[in-house]
Structure 1
Amino acid sequence: MWNDLMHLQISLPDKIVRTVAVYLLLAVILRLVGKRDLAQLNAFDLVVMLLLSNVVQNAVIGPDNSLLGGAIGAVVLIAVNAAVVRLVRRSDRLARVMEGTATVLARDGRWDEQALRAEGLRQADVDAALRRQNANSVAEVERVTIEPGGAIVATLNAEDESATAGDVARLEAKLDAILAAIRG
């Protein structure tokens, strides 16, 4: 039993190369598929992600079913990911290559239909994201983008933004000054 758990059925370099190759392949595929799949998972996307992990499992572990082989694959996968994340964090250029850039979905209250199609987004889904950010419709936004990680970000028109405590304080100060001038 101990031998089955700890005996590698493929060589250590083979295990490392397999893991790194599958990691890079999946990173490229996810980069090419688009931003929506990263943050806006629906039920179909979740099914694909679960099946994808099963499909690539054998490519990572090969014919090795040992505990040690699985542990090595997991350690290599986490180490490669940590290294890539650190490299991307240090270089804006590498971040643009690996993660992409923000895509403008709407500008000045008008949808960019071509951008929505390119990102595989339905207008109704982006409308829901706008409502979560205090916009009732696209007419109230200066700009809507989908960020490289898949987050949808709305920049509201200045007149449609909610008042802050600072705004209220400034108005109170102006009102106090007006009242003081009237009285004095």
Structure 2
Amino acid sequence: MGEYNNEGIVVAGGNGKGNQLNCPTFIFVDKEQSVYVSDFHNNRVMKWRTGAKAGTIVAGGNRGGRNLNQLSYPTGVIVNDLGQIYVADGGNDRVMRWCEGKEEGEIVVGGNGRGNQSNELYGPRGLSFDDEGNLYVADCCNHRIQKFEIILWMKFLLNKKSRNKNKIKEKI
């Protein structure tokens, strides 16, 4: 077996007040090596660019809650090729999409109350995309993985606040 360095380097958090994470849960590293962290007890997602000493809030951060500018115990986080940030909003039983720099996110899956119907989630956790752009959601407390086909609209529609413009259809 080869040798390896078993000493880690802090790349997010641990840099003093305001940069602390409170129960970091999931991470995602993009093509530019920026690190996205779901900060569970701070109800937000943070982004650290390579070499940054401070992170920036890219989703939530307005206390825990159900409003479109809030998250409640976020877990899974993933960023698509368009730079849109998808967050499993575990406490609200929904998946939200955030565009960096925007004050609010959009509900793309769930948000219809806790349940086990095909349009409901119960404690979503992990998220993943396949090569065709389908979103997979680990629906933890329903003991299932759901697959959703995300229909991407033109860029101007993605920036609208209206939930009705986000079309999602269940594929399976």
**Which TM class, normalised by the smaller chain length?**
under 0.3
Which protein has the bigger helix share?
1
Q: Which has the larger radius of gyration?
A: 1
Flag the structure with higher strand content.
Answer: 2
